[in-house]
Chain A
Amino acid sequence: MNPAEPIISVEDLTRVFGSLIAVDRVSFDVAGREVFGFLGPNGAGKTTTINMLCTLLKPTSGHATLNGYDISSQQDQVRQSIGIVFQDPTLDEQLTARENLQFHAMLYNVPASEREIRSRRVLEIVGLAERSRDKVETFSGGMKRRLEIARGLMHYPRVLFLDEPTLGLDPQTRTAIWEYVHELRQQYGITVFLTTHYMDEAENCDRIAIIDHGNIVALDKPDDLKHRVGGDIITLRPVDAEATRRELKDRFGLNGAILEAHADNSGPAGTHLRLEAPSGRTLLPQLLKGLSTEILSVTVREPTLDDVFLSLTGRQIREEAAAGKMAVMKDRIRIRRRARSH
């Protein structure tokens, strides 16, 4: 296959459930060897799109090809070309890790002489070689997910689909899984297509499609997406949000947005004022000097994909509690580092 040709090509793909348009005329291409991410809140249409590309769900209208095969008329060829790791585990817990892999290899027509070699190799990749003869029911959540990724590789797919691959996993396992993903791309030249609603995870992708209400609202490299937001993000926690907002507008010409924030990466819960400013760090001292209304706390940071999502849709992707906590930690570390280097 010509490397310049996209490995996945989607055109006006639509899926309707009753009166709900889950995916609405979505079009995009994914290049070979790319790590392509679908980012969006729960219910945005990520999984529905993946299910259509995996031939589990028939599109209501539109077309898509994968590895040159049509997803509607060449199901078996498409299936043979892909590996899938679903959100929920799909392993047989009563069988051993090795048996799960062998079963998969048989279903995907891997020649008998190859099965043993391949299962040993993929287990090594995901670091489960010593557990190959243990029943899957004895595995932790992270190990199961790694085993599923290993299984998805058994038949040398051209595209590996990962639906929320690190959902509910601890930070170390998440990092480890990302290392595997990058390694796979480098060693086997496979394309990785993943969905996530973790912002920090999406940064690992070459390109991201931000999806909301069944539509792709933006598709670009993570850095380019972030440049679309107007500079740094300043978050203030004022005593009287409305008074401060008015003062900022009158004296500095800044449009602040009042946010009722949860305890997440922008600070503790409460009423916040969020500003976008081209060079926030130099603006901040002037702001603090000039403002007469009282401020309790201030943060300045570079835009994240969360800000991109916010500026595109007017809403935040609500991260799950665990992820939120981790992001807070990361931000704190970042702030500390910044403080030290200044």
Chain B
Amino acid sequence: MRRFRAVYIIWLRDLKRHFRDRARIIGSLGSPIVFVFILGQGLGASFRFTGAEADFDYKVFMFPGILGMTVLFAGVFAAVSIVWDREFGFLKEMLVAPVPSWSIALGKVISGATIATSQGALMLLLAPLVGIRLTLPMVLALLPTMFLVSISMTGMGILVATRLKSMQGFQVVMNFIMMPMFFISGAMFQLSSAPAWMDVLSRINPLTYGVDALRSIMVADFPSRYPLGYDLAMLAIISSALIIISIIAFSRQQ
């Protein structure tokens, strides 16, 4: 019981920090908004969808993808805060406390996922602006789905944080992991016409299932890639695996 209390304490501290930093909360919504309303507007004209009506609005297609992007960035970033904690010394305060190190890692995964989900929830407020009408059941389905996606993102973030010795390496992670993950997830374009190598990569990318699931829930009249149940099952499997691997990696580095 005491050990799970430690998970809660880590979670509480991260949330306190996050919700105190209003500027960052608003700021991190900047790029998703730019994507939807500028890129979405511009690219929309030249898009042809397979399996949907010809005049299907690209922004509606893109919105769940951008939701996935928000969760991806917020989740990885929240988890990588371990690197900050290490640099500012606070990680040591947690590591010498009479709590096991797995509870610290698990606390970080859950706090990161909570923060990422809350950022996603903020983005949902913009859904009506692209013409998606949200209903309560929809929102109730979207939130846990986003949480599930977030868990795999924060799990991955922790894994990255155990390898990163300083924040300087984060740019590399951004360019070689996060951006490719985003583009190969089907967030911006349909994967049906993608070459074989991209198709393979997309199948091991948790964000692919995340975006597909979010799109299935939000956009009823667009053909999804996989059934919703399959998406959720894949997400659950990948998330569990990432949680376990990241906890082991975190505990081992100490």
User: Residues of A with Cβ closer than 8 Å to B?
Assistant: 54-56, 75-77, 79-80, 84, 86, 88-95, 99, 103-104, 106-109
- Are A107 and B94 in contact, CB atoms less than 8 angstroms apart? yes
Name the A residues within 8 Å of B5 (CB-CB). Answer: 106
CB distance from B9 to the nearest CB of A (A): 5
Of the candidates A79, A91, A95, A103, which one forms a contact with B96 in the assembled complex, judged by CB atoms under 8 Å apart? A79
Tally the A-B contacts, defined by beta carbons under 8 Å: 57
Which residues of chain B from 83 to 141 have any CB-CB distance to chain A below 8 Å in the complex?
88-99
Among B2, B6, B17, B91, the residue within 8 A (CB) of A95 is B17
Residues of B within 8 A of A99 (CB): 16
Query: Is B93 a contact partner of A104 (Cβ separation < 8 A)?
Result: yes
Interface readout for B161-192 with A: 1 if CB under 8 Å, 0 if not? 00000000000000000000000000000000
The count of chain B contact residues (Cβ–Cβ below 8 Å) is: 21
Asked if residues B97 and A90 are in contact (CB atoms below 8 Å), the reply is: no
Say yes or no for B22: interface residue by CB 8 A criterion.
no
B252 at the interface (CB under 8 A from A): no
Pick 26 A–B contacts, CB within 8 A, sort by A.
Answer: A54-B96, A55-B96, A56-B92, A76-B98, A79-B97, A80-B98, A86-B89, A89-B88, A89-B89, A90-B88, A90-B89, A90-B90, A90-B93, A91-B88, A91-B89, A91-B90, A91-B93, A92-B13, A92-B17, A92-B90, A92-B93, A95-B13, A95-B16, A103-B13, A107-B99, A109-B98
When distances are taken between beta carbons in the complex, the residues of chain B under 8 Å from A55 are 96
Q: A94-B21, A108-B98 are in contact. List 15 more A-B contacts (CB 8 A).
A: A55-B96, A56-B96, A76-B98, A77-B98, A79-B98, A86-B89, A90-B90, A91-B88, A92-B13, A94-B20, A95-B16, A103-B13, A106-B5, A107-B98, A109-B98
A106 to B11 alpha-carbon distance, docked (Å): 12
| Shortest distance between the CB of B66 and any CB in chain A (Å) | 28
7 tightest Cβ-Cβ pairs between the two chains A and B:
A90-B89, A79-B98, A107-B97, A90-B93, A76-B98, A90-B92, A80-B98
Separation of A61 and B16 alpha carbons in the complex (Å): 42
> How far is it, in angstroms, between the C-alpha of A140 and the C-alpha of B119 when the chains are bound?
34
A76 to B95, CA, bound (A): 11
Set of chain A residues within 8 Å of B88, measured between Cβ atoms: 89-93
Bound: A55/B5 CA distance, A: 21
Q: Majority SS of interface residues in chain A? A: loop
* Minimal beta-carbon separation of B247 from chain A (angstroms): 18
Q: Which chain B residue lies CB-closest to A104? A: B93
How distant is the Cα of A88 from the Cα of B17 in the complex, in angstroms? Answer: 21
Q: Quick check: B2 and A109 within 8 Å, CB to CB? A: yes
In the complex, what residues of B have CB within 8 A of residue A94's CB? 17, 20-21
Instruction: Provide the bound-state CA to CA distance between A91 and B93, in Å.
Output: 8
What is the CA–CA distance of A89 and B93 in the complex, to the nearest angstrom?
9
Q: With both chains docked as a complex, state the minimum distance between the C-beta of B254 and any C-beta of chain A, in angstroms.
A: 8
Q: Report yes or no: A106 in contact with B98, Cβ–Cβ below 8 A.
A: no
Nearest residue, chain A, Cβ from B92: A90
B75 to chain A, nearest CB (A): 20
Q: Which residues of A are found within 8 Å of B21, using beta-carbon distances? A: 94
Residues 1-41 of B at the A interface (beta carbon under 8 Å): 2, 5-6, 9, 13, 16-17, 20-21
In the bound complex, residues from chain A placing their C-beta under 8 Å from that of B98 are: 75-77, 79-80, 107-109
Q: Which residues of A contact B89 (CB under 8 A)?
A: 86, 88-91
> Which residues of chain A have C-beta atoms less than 8 A from B94's C-beta?
107
Please name all residues of chain A whose beta carbon is closer than 8 Å to the beta carbon of B20 when the two chains form the complex. Answer: 94
Is the Cβ of A103 less than 8 Å from the Cβ of B92? no
Q: Which of B5, B13, B94 has the most CB of A within 10 A?
A: B13
Whole-angstrom CA separation of A106 from B99 in the bound complex:
11
Known A-B contacts A56-B95, A91-B89; the reply to A106 vs B17 at CB < 8 A is no
Known: A91-B90, A93-B88, A94-B17. A107 touches B95 (CB 8 A): no
Minimum CB–CB distance for B22 against chain A, Å = 13
Q: Contacts A94-B17, A94-B20 hold; do A108 and B90 have CB atoms under 8 A apart?
A: no
Residue of A nearest to B89 (CB): A90
Q: Looking at the assembled complex, report how far the CB atom of A162 sits from the nearest CB atom of chain B, in whole angstroms.
A: 14
**Distance A246 CA – B156 CA, assembled complex (angstroms):** 72
Closest chain B CB from A90 CB (angstroms) = 4
What is the distance, in angstroms, from A56's C-beta to the closest C-beta of chain B? 6
**Most chain A CB atoms below 10 A, which of B6, B20, B88:** B88
- Write the chain A residue with the least CB distance to B6: A107
Whose C-beta in chain B lies nearest to the C-beta of A87? Answer: B89
Chain A residue with Cβ nearest B20: A94
> Cα distance A95–B9 when bound, in Å?
14
**Cα-based distance from A210 to B2 in the complex (angstroms):** 40
Chain A residues near B2 (CB, 8 Å)? 109
Contacts known (A89-B89, A90-B89); A103 close to B9, Cβ less than 8 A: yes
Interface core residue of A86, A92, A107 (most chain B CB under 10 Å): A107
Smallest CB separation, B27 vs chain A (Å) = 16
Closest B residue to A148 using CB positions: B93
Kindly identify which residue among B90, B91, B96 contacts A84, using a CB–CB cutoff of 8 Å.
Answer: B96
